[in-house]
Chain A
Amino acid sequence: MKKVFVDYKKCLACKSCETACAVEQHPSHTLFGALGDTRTQINVRVLGVEHEAFPLSCRHCDPADCLDACPSGAISRDEGSGAVLLNPDLCKACAMCAMVCPFDAIAFKQTHRARYGRDVAYKCDLCNDRIKKGGTPACVEACHSGALVYGDFDRIRGDRAVSGLKCYLLGKHDALPPLVELFRELRRKECLRRRGGE
């Protein structure tokens, strides 16, 4: 089963993934449509923690706590792709899923898929339609630095078995390209400087 892996060491926090996700999820599939639209849904969020950054979104866990907690039958798994999917027609926005998700990957708002004039839960769908046609998720396609990789879960886990979330993180080579290395160094210094200045 393939998943999206994050090599946070390569993430430059450019947020291309967020933009690509917004465009992919928007009914117009255009940047102009998604811009300034309060219903625009973005399923990935670039989080900055000190000098580190990484895009976080649903990990499509197996077993998935959210799926087991949903009392309205809205969350299911596509057995073919492994994606954990959320059907907004059945979702009651009751937050049982968000209450147990360790990755904070489920949020609520009135998206374009909300049908009853209220908020619904929304989360990453692994671009299920794209990957079923042999493509890659939009965020991965948009990532310039190689921080997001769509790859085989079992193989990667076998290669880099570590505890907790780390098994989701992928770093094929410990050596980073010189520019990325430089960028990280600058960011680390900037972070230290700002903290020192407080």
Chain B
Amino acid sequence: MKVVTVGTGMAAAEFVQRLRLEGLKGPITMIGDEEFPPYSPCVIPFFLAGEPLETVYWKGRDFYERYGVNPLLGDPVTEIDIERRQVRTSGGRIEGYDRLLYATGSRSWYPKPQWLETRGVFGFKTLTDMVAIDRYVRENRITRAVVFGGGFIGVDAALALRHRGLEITLVHRNTRLLSQMTDEEGGRFATAKLKEKTGIDIRLKSTVDAIIADHGQLTGVRFSDDSSMETALLIVSIGVSPNSEPMTGEDRGVAVSAQMLADPSIYCAGDVAVTPHLVDGRDGIYATYPNAMLQARTAARHLMHGDGVYPGSINTNVLKKHIDFPIVSAGSFSGEAVTWEQGDIWRRVYLKDGKINGYLIIGDTRMSGYVYQLYRSQKRVDRSIKAILASPRHDGYYREMLGVRDCGSSVF
């Protein structure tokens, strides 16, 4: 049986590793548009912040050799012929398959793609982007940057470049940073704290409307309020879209079955797959590493053993990069809000029918695991949640376990 993966990202690498560990002997081909061994997108900003490139290859730099993979790199797949069971690449190569894993992930979305033709404008999504930014910053001795887009990737970019010593202006359309993973109040709290702790110049309710260039070299940007700023580096990180066109003709992701099948011989996993949410059942693209892993493993198990079901995705995420100020969130922010705040810490849980519908834990991670388990298991917590959020010693789990509910003093 010949297995082909479209994509060399995390889902594809996990899938291939599982197949080999389970004893699949047949040929495996991995086709990717970049030239690298599988790397971790979550880790690559740390390379830009000054840490060794080696650490981005989270399954080892020798992945292809170790797992007997034939890699076809630097040549993206443009078309999948389901009838003939073959894929075609932009370089004209045709590759047949018995089983295909479609795991192409997503790409940056640019409001004005032509900006990228100017030297000094970059996306912030791939290792190719990181290597290019790293070289550009080094060769041109860049000391300041404008990051356009204050979602997860934008904040990640701003923190990484700040850690490297650049002065950062972060421009975001919304009233708060991280608007997708926070509610209004939590997001404002997080934004204010991030500003206070990092000194990043954060411009809210603002966009970059135009770039100023001189002979193809970026020299500045113009904001929506008509003010402008000199900069030789602009990072555009305002959104991503799934690379589903070769499969579906559209960029809305690929619908899959509970076995991660998009077609009887095509599995699909990772940031391109549309899956149901574990708790509320809503279909969507839940682009986090743990979801991608479980999807890849479900697909590999089904290929090898013909069984297994994907239970659903969870939209938990955490942003903690370079500074000790984590922002954790999951679920949806509707229902009865229970909030607790003290100093740098802000916690809120949304309850629906006495169960956790969503939560935000800002400023520290202690207890976030317990709340995560309560959310996942959909336990009734309406009686205990206040005490859990307010417990100064983060012992909610152990109280529950010992049956000691009161939050009185302790003798220790």
Interface residues of A (CB under 8 A from B): 8, 13, 46-54, 56, 65, 68-69, 71-73, 89-90, 92-96, 98-104, 106-108, 116, 118-119, 164-166, 187, 190-191, 194-195, 198
Beta-carbon contacts under 8 Å, B358-389 to A: 365-370, 372-373
Known contacts A50-B406, A166-B401; is-contact A95 B412 (Cβ 8 Å): no
**In the bound complex, CA of A104 to CA of B410 (Å):** 19
Question: Do the beta carbons of A69 and B412 come within 8 Å of each other?
Answer: no
Asked if B294 CB lies within 8 Å of chain A CBs, one says yes
Given A53-B412, A92-B51, 11 new contacts (CB under 8 A):
A8-B402, A52-B402, A68-B293, A73-B59, A90-B55, A95-B318, A98-B365, A102-B369, A104-B366, A107-B366, A190-B411
- Tell me which residues across on chain A come within 8 A of B290, comparing CB atoms: 68-69, 96, 100
A-B contact pairs, 26 of them (CB 8 A): A8-B402, A48-B411, A49-B398, A49-B410, A50-B404, A52-B404, A54-B398, A68-B294, A71-B40, A71-B43, A72-B42, A90-B55, A94-B42, A94-B318, A94-B321, A96-B42, A96-B290, A98-B369, A100-B316, A100-B372, A102-B370, A103-B369, A106-B365, A165-B401, A194-B409, A198-B408
Q: Which segment, of B24-32, B101-109, B322-330, faces chain A?
A: B322-330
Complex partner residue of A191 from B50, B393, B411, CB under 8 angstroms: B411
Question: Do the beta carbons of B46 and A99 come within 8 Å of each other?
Answer: no
**In the bound complex, CA of A49 to CA of B399 (Å):** 7
**In the bound complex, CA of A184 to CA of B130 (Å):** 58
Which single residue of chain B is at the shortest CB-CB distance from A194?
Answer: B409
- Tell me which residues across on chain B come within 8 A of A94, comparing CB atoms: 42, 318, 320-321
Question: Do the beta carbons of B58 and A73 come within 8 Å of each other?
Answer: yes
- On chain B, the number of residues with a Cβ less than 8 Å from chain A's Cβ atoms is 45
Beta-carbon contacts under 8 Å, B32-59 to A: 40, 42-43, 46, 50-51, 55, 58-59
How would residues 298 to 337 of chain B score, 1 for a CB under 8 Å from any chain A CB and 0 otherwise? 0000000000000000001010111010101000000000
Complex partner residue of A99 from B51, B316, B321, B324, CB under 8 angstroms: B316
Query: How far is the CB of A175 from the nearest CB of chain B, in Å?
Result: 20
Query: How far is the CB of B69 from the nearest CB of chain A, in Å?
Result: 17
Nearest 5 A-B pairs (CB), nearest first? A48-B412, A73-B58, A71-B42, A101-B369, A71-B289
